Amino acid sequence: MRSWIWTLILFAAAVALALVLREHGGNVLIVAQPWRIELSLSLAVVLALVAFLALHWLLRALNWLGTSPGRLRAWRGRRAQKRDIELLERGWINVLEGRYVQAEKDLSNLVSRTRSADRKVLAGLSAARALHLLGETARRDQVLRLAQEGAGQDSRLRQAVDTVTAEMYLDQNRAEEALALLEPLQDASSRFLHGTRLLLRAHRQLGHADRVYELTRLLLRRGAIDETQARQFIRESTAQRLSRVEESDWNAVWGDLSADERLDPDVALAGAQAQVRLGHPAESARILEAALGRRLDDRLLRLYAQCDATQAGQRLGHAELWLRSSPDHAGLLAALGQLCLAARLWGQGEHYLERSLALRADTHIHALLGNLHDALGHPDQALRNWRLACQAADAEIPAVSRLLPAADMRGDPRFDEAVAADEPAPAESPLAVPPAASGVYVQDETGGAMEPVAAPAPRSAPETPPAPASMTAEDEYFDTAPIPGVDMSQTSDGGARK
């Protein structure tokens, strides 16, 4: 549009100039000794315009010739940039498609040919990613070192190199090396969310529960992590923190949790176990009661049922209230049975355990019934339940021979008091029924063994027959039975043994 406007202006100026020259005819005299030039005014104006245009185009031609090297360099740069971009795009497309060998070839070619520091670093990081996915860690580390050198003092490029390197280290479970690269990035910019996610991943691999808890909270507030995954991380890290918390730190750790998080079964279980470890069973019961009031959980119920007789009555009251809303919960019935055993309510305990067993066959319930019958003096029923507990746990009890075969002493020349070969060996008395502690070994949720109902009575050791007076200390130590296939009369001490 502008060109059309200028064209109209030029035509208007030409028409105006022609009209002026037509009305004002005259001559132009140019005197330059020894020359004298006389022209009409119209011709002089035309020649002046032609001279101006010729000079203008001459100057432009000279300028074009003078700037040709720069324009040539710019053209070559544009061509190289286009080629670099094509190689970079093709390399990344190959990486995304899984063609890592071809991607590494294109990107390495770009690293060796490009003159741009930025593209050299980007191509190096992309080639390192392809080599990492190929499992060639040695070449990958070499390419990463070249990219680190190419980044120089550029903070953004160095940050990109450190981030990519740390992510690859985390894929190899080299969390400490990744942490050394990520910590400065986190200190420099707390809003570097991808770096924070990588930092969370490194601390999870190292088992740093406190840092996992803090970083998960930070990412959750900024919406940079899935809420379900964040709740899982908070639950796991809180359970780890509570498992090793000291009494002086309890209020800080427990008070940092929201009311909803305290009712989570995993968190409540860890908190209750910590209170038991610190010697506060009443506080442990309050934590479990709050969580169980929201949702019944077998692990919480089993821990809740582990108490002494002084607390069993109060816990029985809470458990019976829960039973009204969940009368067919096998775990709750088993917990009620165990609490009745702790309170020495044998009949009610057997009733609850039998109801629970009718709903679910469980090793723990069979073991509790075995302990109950053993305490009531019913060894046959106790042994039966202990055997059922082993069967429920898929444990085979191998058959044990109750009698050992008698040794063949007929060839012993020194054992005059030996029993005749034709006399039968005296039969041993049948083994006694095993007590409760030897028949049951059930672990609770904390990994400890349950306290047995009754301690086993020690068995008297069988009497050892006295050795003959004629036997020496050497004879008492070594077996006097003859060696099969050896004629003792041919030995060097054969005469002494006869």
Tens digits of residue pLDDT in 405-451: 555 656 655 555 544 444 454 544 443 444 433 333 344 444 444 44
Asked whether residue 344 is assigned to any structural domain, the reply reads yes
The boundaries of the domain holding residue 14 are: 8-44
Quickly state the pLDDT bin for 393 (edges 50, 70, 90): low
For residue 92, give Cα distances in angstroms to 85, 128, 130, 215.
Answer: 11, 12, 9, 32
Q: What is the pLDDT of residue 445?
A: 47
Asked whether residue 227 is assigned to any structural domain, the reply reads no
Asked whether residue 354 is assigned to any structural domain, the reply reads yes
Peptide bond into 34 cis (omega under 30): yes
Report d(CA 32, CA 234) in Å as an integer. Answer: 101
With a cut of 60, say whether residue 186 has pLDDT above it.
yes
- Among the candidates 396, 430, 463, a domain finishes at 396
Q: What is the pLDDT of residue 461?
A: 45
Asked whether residue 497 is assigned to any structural domain, the reply reads no
Q: What is the pLDDT of residue 450?
A: 47
Quickly state the pLDDT bin for 478 (edges 50, 70, 90): very low
Q: What is the pLDDT of residue 498?
A: 45
| CATH number, domain containing residue 376 | 1.25.40.10
Q: Which residue in this structure is represented by tokens 């003096």?
A: 377
Q: Which residue in this structure is represented by tokens 């989570």?
A: 264
Q: What is the pLDDT of residue 403?
A: 53
With a cut of 70, say whether residue 480 has pLDDT above it.
no
Asked whether residue 343 is assigned to any structural domain, the reply reads yes
Lowest mean pLDDT among 53-62, 76-85, 475-484: 475-484
With a cut of 90, say whether residue 271 has pLDDT above it.
yes
- Among the candidates 346, 381, 396, a domain finishes at 396
How many domains is the chain partitioned into structurally? 2
Q: What is the pLDDT of residue 32?
A: 79
Q: What predicted TM-score, i.e. pTM, was given to this entire model?
A: 0.64
Asked whether residue 277 is assigned to any structural domain, the reply reads no
Of 228, 225, 233, 185, nearest to 207 (Cα)?
233
Q: What is the pLDDT of residue 418?
A: 46
Determine the residue type at 314.
Q
Quickly state the pLDDT bin for 298 (edges 50, 70, 90): very high
Q: What is the pLDDT of residue 494?
A: 52
- Among the candidates 377, 396, 415, a domain finishes at 396
Given a contact cutoff of 8 angstroms between Cβ atoms, the answer to whether 391 and 459 are in contact is no
The sign of the torsion formed by the CA atoms of 77, 83, 88, 93 equals positive
Lowest mean pLDDT among 171-180, 255-264, 441-450: 441-450
Residues 115-163: tens digit of each pLDDT? 888 999 999 999 999 999 999 999 999 999 999 999 988 989 999 999 9
With a cut of 70, say whether residue 353 has pLDDT above it.
yes
Quickly state the pLDDT bin for 397 (edges 50, 70, 90): low
Quickly state the pLDDT bin for 458 (edges 50, 70, 90): very low
Asked whether residue 23 is assigned to any structural domain, the reply reads yes
Asked whether residue 98 is assigned to any structural domain, the reply reads no
The sign of the torsion formed by the CA atoms of 355, 397, 448, 244 equals negative
Collect all residues with Cβ–Cβ distance below 8 Å to 250 and sequence separation of at least 6: 274, 278
